[in-house]
Amino acid sequence: MEDLRILIVDDIPTNVALIAAIIKKLNARQETAGNGEEALSLIDSFKPHIVLLDLMMPGIDGWDIIKAIREKYSKEQMSIIVTSAITDYGTITECQNIGVDDFITKPIMPDLLLNSIQLNALKFI
């Protein structure tokens, strides 16, 4: 999966490090963003196939990033996998309604995250 590009977006450095360690097994190209501004910049320059996105961040949050991505990129062009501690049904449903491809709750189960990435990567590799 060397050609696969993944962007990790989370404002908590330990979450970024954990996710990066989990997905290292995939040998995909990785970039990270610690806030929404960085994420939006990298989305346009790095052009990730998959964005692993936290919802709750200061400033530009995950919701704003989802909307910005879907204004420019379809699900066939870029997948969004939310990684969030929010677990209520309403939030998960709303994410699906606005264009999220999958929703992984925190604490992250590595196998669940890897399976989601591999399923979403099928349309890009």
pLDDT, one tens digit per residue, over 25-69 is 999 999 999 999 999 999 999 999 999 999 999 999 999 999 999
Inter-residue long-range contacts of 13-21, CB under 8 Å, 24+ positions, other chains counted: 15/54, 15/83, 15/106, 18/108, 19/52, 19/83, 19/108, 19/113
pTM (2 d.p.):
0.97
Domains of the chain, by residue range, sit at 5-121
Question: Which CATH topology does 5-121 take?
Answer: Rossmann fold (3.40.50)
